[in-house]
Chains A and B, each alone.
Chain A
């Protein structure tokens, strides 16, 4: 089965602080994605990547940066965290061509 892991699983940050969320996949998938999900709602795409060294803006990129240093790793960076970024963040990986995505367990981020 596809394996996507995320760290940390829970994070409490202060307003204005820097937060880095990490994602690792062992599926050898080219594509990786970062979503946020607010309570009771669907998934909103923040950034995605087609492969090592590439990042693309999703639907809500403002306030977030992404980094894909290798095929396996994809990070989401909040340079200046704000309370509005309190949410659950999911990383996913998928093969090329917009097909099935495999999700990590999620990171619950609280910005105070």
Chain B
């Protein structure tokens, strides 16, 4: 069964706008969440990670985590065309040697 669910499947935002992506895990054993970004034709690269309740900000990117609901969200402010990519959410637990990926959100930032 799918352990990590992402929404929406695709998202179009205007340049300069805010993009908000969501992710929820159905596995209560997870304790770490990851956001990977994959540009077209390239390999995924880790963008941000979070394991504590609350939020974490790095430049234009902010990640929120609610551990009680196992929900994380990624917000991109002042979106740029270069942010257009597939954003993959992943979750892992301390007992696992693997991480579980969602199917991704395809973000398009229109100039």
Task: Please give the residue numbers on chain A whose beta carbons come within 8 Å of chain B beta carbons, in ascending order.
Answer: 31, 33, 35, 40-43, 45, 48, 50, 58, 90, 94, 96-106
Contact = CB atoms under 8 A, between A and B. Distances in A.
B88 A31 contact: no
B45 interface: yes
B86 to A, nearest CB: 8
A93 to B, nearest CB: 12
Given A98-B32, A103-B44, A106-B43, A42 B96 contact: no
B93 A98 contact: yes
Nearest to B30: A98
Interface of B: 32, 34, 42-46, 49, 86, 88, 92-94, 96-99, 101-104, 106
B40 to A, nearest CB: 10
**Sorted from nearest, which 7 A-B pairs have the closest CB atoms?**
A98-B92, A42-B103, A103-B43, A98-B96, A43-B101, A42-B104, A42-B101
